[in-house]
Amino acid sequence: MTTPYQHQGAPGAVYSSPIPIRRAHLGDAIASEWTKIRSVRSTIWTLSVMALLLVGIGLAVAAAITTSDANVEDQPILSLGFFGVLLGSLCVMTLGVLTVASEYGTGMIRTTLTACPTRGRVLTAKAIVFFALVFTVTLALTLFVGVAQVAIIDQGSPTTQEWLRSTLGVSLYLALLGLLSLAVGSMIRHSAGAITIMIGLVLLPLVMAMFMFTESLSWLQDALLEYSIPSQLGVLYDNSVTQSGPMGWEPLWIMLGIAAVALGAAYTMLNSRDV
Amino acid sequence: MRTPYGVRMIELDGLTKHFGSKVAVDHLSFQVRPGMVTGFLGPNGAGKSTTMRMMLDLDNPTSGNVRIDGKRYRELDEPLKYIGALLDAKAMHGGRSAYNNLLCLAQANRIPTARVDQVLDVVGLTPVARKKSKGFSLGMGQRLGIASALLGDPEILMFDEPVNGLDPEGIHWIRNLMKSLASEGRTIFVSSHLMSEMALTADHLIVIGQGKLLADTSMADFIHENSRSFVRLRSPQRERLREVLRESGLTAVEAGSGTVEIDGATTEELGELAARHQITLHELSSQRASLEEAFMQMTAGSVEYHAHGTSHAGPPSDQQPGPQWGQSYQSDKGA
């Protein structure tokens, strides 16, 4: 460390690193984002709380129904998972926002974008890693809760459609809702602000609908009820608040569209803004 | 673009950045030459960090551009292997361990993971590699930032105020590290607001004030021009002294509290002169203007945030107007 240094750019003394240069691509960015998401405590916390909510509420509701001997024949058994998933979605939204916004909060985003100046690649890698993580975790949890509920209640077996929608469908829906949160977090760049916006997005339509008593607003009230996120989630469980509006798998396509538009906007903003 | 030596080089061409109506960086053009330490000097708020962010394509210039070997930063595939940068020691996720903070950067650039342990060792953080970085002191955070800059073993290194908040041992370590990195043929670009720090590390100097280029000169030239020596005299017979000096063709400058300062004469000559005219002297001393004073004078007109009511800077500050000095460097640069 004490070798004399050269002056005025002496010729021929270029430093050349022994580390081989291998072209980095999206796969490397995904590996990087996976390291990031698994190495912070907020990931473990939000996903643990989500597991607790889904399993805890799911099993508690099922147990309550068997002990009270209530007749649930008119309601699909798997729809009992709805309450846990609705609360669990708050965890998914929080984690989605934090995945991007915490980088702005800590200043890490500068380091990240210095290491990978192709900004689109960073956001794509984040979206892929986060989507895969949430989808996998939710699928495992909804499957477990569904099987447990059917076993506990023991009143007929759900159809294949019901099984698919309440596990695969719900998991895709939550993962897409998470992607929407991730996009909002990337645009707002502030964790608390983005989480508030997401919670408002879930709750406000229902709350607002409650206050629309007048006849002239009833169409808006219906629309808010039908298209609010909790109702859409209910549709996947055949447990909608209303009898009109989207049916079957439709909520999934609606959320896919919204998440795609939000991610598109997030890409555009990330590429043009200073960090 | 390759330089005549065939080595990596950063070129800024008319780089300008406006934040609303405020001009942060104003048509900045200079080159960072390879194989040496280039100091980037300016008072707080001069636009150093904004310039460095634009060099890394984090901020978009309002106009002008930066080329690294003829390319934009965004066009580099594995940028960490070309440029390592320490912008802000806190630009890490505090909840993540030092090791994982570096690992995710290495992965993004396909740098072998073994390199993470190597750089942790270089900066002396191996014992705390698995500790969360939010518990790190400022000095440790700075070392972690330097480790991330060294990760890709790059040919160009950029450090923004690396000695900020470091203890003397840490400062000494960074100085030696920079010199040793430059001696390996790397290009080092380091910003500071401390002239004294630059005098010890930099080979070349770029001075900016309010986003404008004030000087682009070699350190040796800067020292040569600014280590001006002068003689300070204090006498109860002030009027008589000034008269004698004037007769001898010497210009004396009042420096307050009854002292005068004289350029272009030695203490011996002035002592003998005083003795010949039987003038009592209370002080006869040889003085040297510090580089810090030269720097302050150069940037005097461009300091953004003045502290009001503080005492004035060193003695020679009212002798020459600042811009002249800057101009002489500008012409040096052309030569």
Per the CB < 8 Å rule, is B56 touching A114?
A: yes
| CA triple A36-A39-A41, angle to 5 deg | 120
* Backbone dihedral angles phi then psi of residue B233, each to the nearest 5 degrees: -125, 140
- Interatomic CA distance for residues B197 and A196, integer angstroms: 46
- Nearest CB among B3, B77, B95 relative to A24 is that of B77
Confidence of residue A6 (pLDDT cuts 50, 70, 90): very low
- Interatomic CA distance for residues A177 and A183, integer angstroms: 10
Establish how many alpha carbons lie within 13 A of residue B172's alpha carbon, considering only the half-sphere containing its beta carbon: 4
Q: Could you give the strand order of the β-sheet that contains B156-160, starting from the edge strand earlier in sequence?
A: B83-86, B156-160, B187-192, B37-41, B204-209, B212-218
**Other residues' Cβ atoms within 10 Å of the Cβ of residue A165:** 25
Condensed to tens digits (0 to 9), the pLDDT of residues B22-34 reads 999 999 999 998 8
- Interatomic CA distance for residues A49 and A199, integer angstroms: 17
Who's near B169: CB < 8 A, 6+ residues apart?
A: none
Condensed to tens digits (0 to 9), the pLDDT of residues B218-267 reads 988 888 777 777 889 898 888 888 888 888 888 888 877 778 888 888 89
Report DSSP state, residue B237: -
Condensed to tens digits (0 to 9), the pLDDT of residues B265-317 reads 889 999 999 999 999 999 998 887 778 887 887 887 766 566 654 444 444 43
Q: In the prediction, which pLDDT does A75 show? A: 75
Query: What's the mean per-residue pLDDT of chain B?
Result: 84
User: Does residue B325 register a pLDDT over 70?
Assistant: no
Please check whether residue A36 touches B, CB under 8 A.
yes
Condensed to tens digits (0 to 9), the pLDDT of residues A50-78 reads 999 999 999 999 998 888 866 666 678 88
Please check whether residue A11 touches B, CB under 8 A.
yes
> Which is more confidently placed, A19 or B201?
B201
Residue B309's alpha-carbon distances to B82, B304, B306, B313, B319, in angstroms, are 47, 16, 9, 12, 21
**Residues B59 and B17 sit within 8 Å (Cβ to Cβ):** yes
pTM score > 0.80 for this model? yes
Q: Which helix (H) or strand (E) is A56 found in, with range? A: helix A41-68
**Other residues' Cβ atoms within 10 Å of the Cβ of residue B142:** 26
Question: Among B104, B148, B160, which would you mutate to test the A interface (most chain A Cβ atoms within 10 Å of its Cβ)?
Answer: B104
Work out the percent of chain B whose per-residue pLDDT is above 70.
Answer: 87
- Nearest CB among A4, A15, A118 relative to B186 is that of A15
**Other residues' Cβ atoms within 10 Å of the Cβ of residue B238:** 16
**Mean pLDDT of the region A28-38:** 95
Condensed to tens digits (0 to 9), the pLDDT of residues A223-272 reads 888 899 998 999 998 766 566 778 889 999 999 999 999 999 999 999 99
Who's near A32: CB < 8 A, 6+ residues apart?
A: A115, A116, A125, B104, B105, B107, B108
| Chain B residues inside the 8 Å CB shell of A17 | 81, 152-155
Per the CB < 8 Å rule, is A110 touching B78?
A: no
Alpha helix (H) residue ranges in chain B: 48-55, 98-108, 114-122, 138-150, 168-183, 195-201, 219-226, 238-247, 267-276, 291-299, 322-334
Residue B4's alpha-carbon distances to A89, A209, B29, B335, in angstroms, are 60, 72, 19, 17
| Chain A residues inside the 8 Å CB shell of B107 | 28, 31-32, 35
Taking one residue from A and the other from B, the number of pairs with CB-CB distance under 8 angstroms is 166
Sign, CA dihedral B174-B3-B80-B190, equals positive
Condensed to tens digits (0 to 9), the pLDDT of residues A197-218 reads 999 999 999 888 888 878 888 8
User: Does residue B210 register a pLDDT over 70?
Assistant: yes
Q: In the prediction, which pLDDT does A142 show? A: 96
Work out the percent of chain B whose per-residue pLDDT is above 90.
Answer: 44
Q: In the prediction, which pLDDT does A10 show? A: 44
- Interatomic CA distance for residues B284 and A218, integer angstroms: 96
Partners of B30 in the β-ladder: B12
List the one residue out of B116, B163, B158 whose CA is nearest residue B143. Answer: B163
For B62, the closest chain A residue by CA position comes to A274
For A35, the closest chain B residue by CA position comes to B104
Q: In the prediction, which pLDDT does B166 show? A: 83
**Lowest-confidence segment of A14-23, B35-44, B88-97 by average pLDDT:** A14-23
List the one residue out of B219, B202, B198, B191 whose CA is nearest residue B40. Answer: B191
ipTM: 0.87
Helices (H) and strands (E) in chain B, counts: 11, 13
Rg over alpha carbons for chain A, rounded to the nearest Å, is 24
Helices A170-188 and A229-236, axial angle in degrees (round to 10): 160
Per the CB < 8 Å rule, is A106 touching B93?
A: yes
Strand bridging mode B229-234 / B37-41: unpaired
Q: Could you give the strand order of the β-sheet that contains B63-68, starting from the edge strand earlier in sequence?
A: B22-32, B10-19, B63-68
Q: Collapsing DSSP states into helix, strand and coil, what is residue B134?
A: helix
Q: Which helix (H) or strand (E) is B24 found in, with range? A: strand B22-32
CA dihedral A199, A205, A210, A216 (to 10 degrees): 160
Strand bridging mode B83-86 / B229-234: unpaired
- Interatomic CA distance for residues A62 and B6, integer angstroms: 74
